[in-house]
Amino acid sequence: MKAVAVFPGTREVTIIEREAPRISQPDQVELRMLDIGICGTDKEICSFDYGTPPAGDDFLVIGHEALAEIVKVGSAVTRLRPGDLVVPSVRRPCPHPGCLACRTGHQDYCYTGDFTERGIKEAHGYMAEYIVDYERNMTLVPPGLREIAVLAEPLTIAEKALTQIFWTMQQRPPWLDPDTPSQQRGEGLSALVLGIGPVGLLGAMTLASAGFTTYVYSRELPPSPRIDLVDAIGATYVSSQATTFADLAEKMDNIDLIYEAVGHSHFALQALQVLGTNGIYVLTGVPGPQAFIEADPARLMRDLVLKNQVLLGTVNAGPDAFAAALRDLHLFRQRWPAVVRTLIAGRYPPEQAPELVLGRPAGIKSVITFEQGGQAR
Ligand SMILES: [Zn+2]
Ligand SMILES: [Zn+2]
């Protein structure tokens, strides 16, 4: 079968032929891969900044954002059957008995760092014709979400963050009613999303649908389909090339939430300076090595203390976040059908994966498909 692999030794990204995997445990399922999204992490892996092949292999099959169809199930599989659509999760638990996070199915909170991640760290990914994995790592997809379910994994970043934000908000500020339904929890609050890539845009959609008055701030200038998308979900786009952080803060009044989706340290730190009273700052970007910058930590500490601020980092994601992502994709489609149709820029055959991964992203999300007749749309 075909797979798309990166060879760190020779610095190549190419199609390889591999033997198709087979079910070897009763609780495993065999998947025929349908769609695999390309993201910034794949680009970093293919620029050899990030990613590790499994022990004993000189290559890593990439791909961690996937939608698949079950083709075979082991004898102990109870929840899934052939024909079902599923989204597989990415991170697998570490082996240490003392890691309470991994031992309770919360490997996104792993203490030891010895977890593996399919398509990223010491485990092959999903950009292949067939995959075998355990039933417990699968989230069932309603058939109606076939076209967009490949977006579930990138959306889990925002879903996990939102759970953490709401959990934090329930404890503080104390005058908020903890029983407020999730679609109203952001009402009366403002959110600033940094970055207009897929993570930022999916984050903006999640925050806007939770009732936040949402702003998106990035370098991009109009005209741009990404900026059109921000407008279409009722959020406000502001370009950093036209408006400074200080001017933006004035326009937004108290900034209750900042959702960082850029991974640029200087930009992120500048934004921290405009976080409002009782504000929560969520970091999702993972910067590579960057130049040292000057900062005023005394001011940052003063603000964090005197304004009751929270600084929160989050990495995706557990099963609850996958279920929430699928629920929200359904909701987004009901609420913004035209926007949802534009989220997937195109579907391409695996042969085009190397150039797509290495090139500049077109549109919002490019998808590799192993279905016959995969084509740009
Ligand atoms: Zn990704
Ligand atoms: Zn662990």
Task: Tell me the pLDDT band of 189, cut-offs 50, 70 and 90.
Answer: very high
Residue 375 pLDDT greater than 60, yes or no = no
Ligand with an atom nearest the CA of residue 150: 1
Angle between helices 225-232 and 198-209 (to 10 degrees): 10
Task: Tell me the pLDDT band of 170, cut-offs 50, 70 and 90.
Answer: low
Q: What is the CA(143)–ligand 1 centre distance, in A?
A: 23
**Residues in CB range of 281: below 8 A, 6 or more apart:** 257, 258, 260, 271, 272, 275, 309, 310, 311, 312
Mean residue pLDDT of the chain comes to 93
pLDDT at res. 47: 87
Residue 205 pLDDT greater than 80, yes or no = yes
Ligand with an atom nearest the CA of residue 43: 1
Task: Tell me the pLDDT band of 140, cut-offs 50, 70 and 90.
Answer: very high
Ligand with an atom nearest the CA of residue 37: 1
Residue 175: count other Cβ atoms within 10 Å of its Cβ: 5
pLDDT at res. 204: 98
> Where is average pLDDT lowest: 20-24, 316-320, 327-331?
316-320
Task: Give percent of the chain above pLDDT 70.
Answer: 96
Q: What is the DSSP letter of 47?
A: T
Residue 173 pLDDT greater than 70, yes or no = no
Residue 369 pLDDT greater than 90, yes or no = yes
Ligand with an atom nearest the CA of residue 154: 1
* 227-247 residue pLDDT tens: 999 999 999 999 999 999 999
- Cβ-contact 4, 33 below 8 angstroms: no
Cα–Cα dist 353/300, whole Å: 43
Please report the DSSP string for 11-65 in residue order: TEEEEEE-PPP---STTEEEEEEEEEE--HHHHHHHTTSS-BPPTT-S-EE---E
Q: What is the CA(152)–ligand 1 centre distance, in A?
A: 10
Sign of the four-CA dihedral 91, 92, 95, 97: positive
Compare 295 and 61 and report the one with higher pLDDT: 61
Q: What is the DSSP letter of 116?
A: E
| Residue 157 phi, psi dihedral angles, 5° rounding | -60, -50
* 251-305 residue pLDDT tens: 999 999 999 999 999 999 999 999 999 999 999 998 888 888 888 999 999 999 9
